Amino acid sequence: MLKGTGLVLGGLAVPGVLESCLTSTSSTSSGTIKIGYISPITGPASGFGEPDAYAISLARKALKDGLSIGGTNYSVEIVNRDGQSTPSVGSQQANDLISSQKVDLMLTTSTPETVNPVSDACEAAGVPCISTVVPWEAWFLGRGGKPGQPSPFKSTFHYCFGVEQFFLAYTHLWPQVPTNNKVGVMYPNDADGNAIRAVLAPLLKTAGYTIVDPGPYEDGTNDYTTQIQKFIAQDCQIFNTFPIPPDFATFWRQASSLGYTKHVKIGQIAKTGLFPSQVSSLGSIGNGLASGVYWAPTWPYKSSLTGVTSKQLGDGYESSTGKQWNQQLGASLSLFDVAAAVLKASGNPKDKSKVIGAMATLTVETPVGKLDWSKPVSLAGMAVPNVVSTPIIGGQWKEGVSKWPIDFVICENAADPNVPIASTLKPYTG
């Protein structure tokens, strides 16, 4: 369901520690606020971590003079760690930041494999935690939340798109290409796949799509012949999947070799194919794949912490790194917008209960849009007070549309009409 160096457990991550302190006649100096940050820099989900170094550098620059809260100025230290795309490592890193570093606030992003164990560790310790880039149902249900029951989570908060946003995107994107409405789905046996199978598939059926589901598969599967043959036999002209990136690469190459891609008119992917590097690595069979974005440089929003617009964020990243923009940029920077806003709203950033309490009504502007925890999502008729939904916007990877070999083109905006549409979906021809 997704970023100069400092040595950390398990790998190399972004630099350093910022401990500057500003005093004035109206404020006093009072120690350091420690913010923990955990994302997948290495491992199968490492594409999500590609732009984190740049996003964190912007946050550090904005926080170099500290935060003035309630007449007191606090210096701010960001301590970042690599979750290695592995739940056990994410949990270990979180517990280290909680126990050894004594972080006041935790931030985490990108896939349930990283976010859910970090959130669980914070919940157990009573440490406020803010997370994103996991479909919110996978975050809530995957951690033991129950439909129709009060949320069991007190110190952990989340914002992200959910099944409703995928449904909106798909049902506004897919009709742009004539098909037989048969959808071959590959949903893995993990937090993302199980949540999508339980909620999205039934919604697609009500919208008139026939779902062909060969059943859950295990992450790391190497042979998809049986599933591919079923999709060919059923003439599934739409394909939809939510895999870890290496699994999709294996599947799609096998699908091409066995002739299934010739049946496909819409190849709709999520969790993988979010970043240019993942698509370009597929070669010619990556061109024309449909995907979604949770942020792009054309989004009409900016960071409240840094003042950087979405366009400036994308341009700055490309200029600084020589790499193509990456949609995780907006999400990663948005975490620091939320962090700064809630620390200020708490009145006392060293009191975890006050930070947790401030999250309940927090409103903040970010590159991914305005977030408002006073307007939470609902599940089975009951509000989930610590979860806010954000858009997912549908589009397509196309060659020859920018200076880059392949780029993402937005083709619908049902989840956020403020996001500009650039083109329409074209049939997959791989």
Please report whether residue 426 resides in a domain: no
Same domain, 286 and 312: no
| pLDDT(327) > 60 | yes
Give the position of tokens 């404020």: 27
Same domain, 200 and 136: no
What CA–CA distance (Å, rounded) separates 55 from 6? 15
In this structure, the number of other CB atoms found within 10 A of the CB of residue 257 comes to 12
78-125 residue pLDDT tens: 999 999 999 999 999 999 999 999 999 999 999 999 999 999 999 999
Predicted local confidence at residue 191, as pLDDT: 86
Across the chain, mean pLDDT equals 92
Same domain, 188 and 264: yes
Please report whether residue 427 resides in a domain: no
The domain that holds 360 is classified in CATH as: 3.40.50.2300
Please report whether residue 430 resides in a domain: no
158-175 residue pLDDT tens: 999 999 999 999 999 999
Contacts of 362 (CB under 8 A, 6+ apart): 338, 341, 342, 345, 371, 372, 373, 374
Q: Give the phi and the psi of residue 274 in degrees, each rounded to 5.
A: -85, -20
Confidence of residue 55 (pLDDT cuts 50, 70, 90): very high
Please report whether residue 415 resides in a domain: no
Give the position of tokens 């200076």: 403
What CA–CA distance (Å, rounded) separates 140 from 123? 13
Contact 144, 155 (CB under 8 A): no
Same domain, 405 and 346: no
| pLDDT(133) > 50 | yes
Whole-angstrom CA distances from 364 to 46, 307, 339 are: 28, 13, 10
CB burial string 129-142: b at 16+ within 10 A, e below: bbbbbbbbbbbbbb
229-251 residue pLDDT tens: 999 999 999 999 999 899 999 99
Enumerate helices (H) and strands (E) in the chain, giving the number of each.
Answer: 12, 20
Confidence of residue 30 (pLDDT cuts 50, 70, 90): low
Range of the domain at 203: 164-293+393-410
Please report whether residue 51 resides in a domain: yes
Same domain, 189 and 283: yes
Same domain, 227 and 330: no
Same domain, 20 and 142: yes
Q: What is the DSSP letter of 132?
A: E
Q: Which two tokens stand for residue 20?
A: 């500057």
What CA–CA distance (Å, rounded) separates 22 from 162? 41
Please report whether residue 255 resides in a domain: yes
Predicted local confidence at residue 380, as pLDDT: 84
| Enclosing H/E stretch for 363 | strand 363-366
Same domain, 179 and 286: yes
What CA–CA distance (Å, rounded) separates 377 from 381? 10
Contacts of 126 (CB under 8 A, 6+ apart): 154, 155, 352
Return the bridge partners of 75, or none.
32
| pLDDT(1) > 50 | no
Same domain, 215 and 334: no
Please report whether residue 416 resides in a domain: no
Domains contained in the chain, number: 2
Confidence of residue 22 (pLDDT cuts 50, 70, 90): very low
Predicted local confidence at residue 195, as pLDDT: 85
177-234 residue pLDDT tens: 999 999 999 999 998 899 889 889 999 999 999 999 999 999 999 999 999 999 999 9
What CA–CA distance (Å, rounded) separates 409 from 346? 40
Same domain, 18 and 116: yes
For the chain, give percent helix, strand, coil, nearest 5. 35, 25, 40
Mean pLDDT of 306-335: 97
Please report whether residue 135 resides in a domain: yes
> Nearest Cα to 20, choosing from 6, 31, 4?
31
Return the bridge partners of 362, or none.
none
Q: Which two tokens stand for residue 29?
A: 């100096």
Predicted local confidence at residue 226, as pLDDT: 97
Q: Give the phi and the psi of residue 261 in degrees, each rounded to 5.
A: -60, -20
Same domain, 281 and 401: yes
Give percent of the chain with pLDDT exceeding 90.
86
Same domain, 234 and 283: yes
What CA–CA distance (Å, rounded) separates 282 from 428? 14
Q: Give the phi and the psi of residue 267 in degrees, each rounded to 5.
A: -105, 95
Cα–chain center distance at 260: 29
Mean pLDDT of 59-66: 97
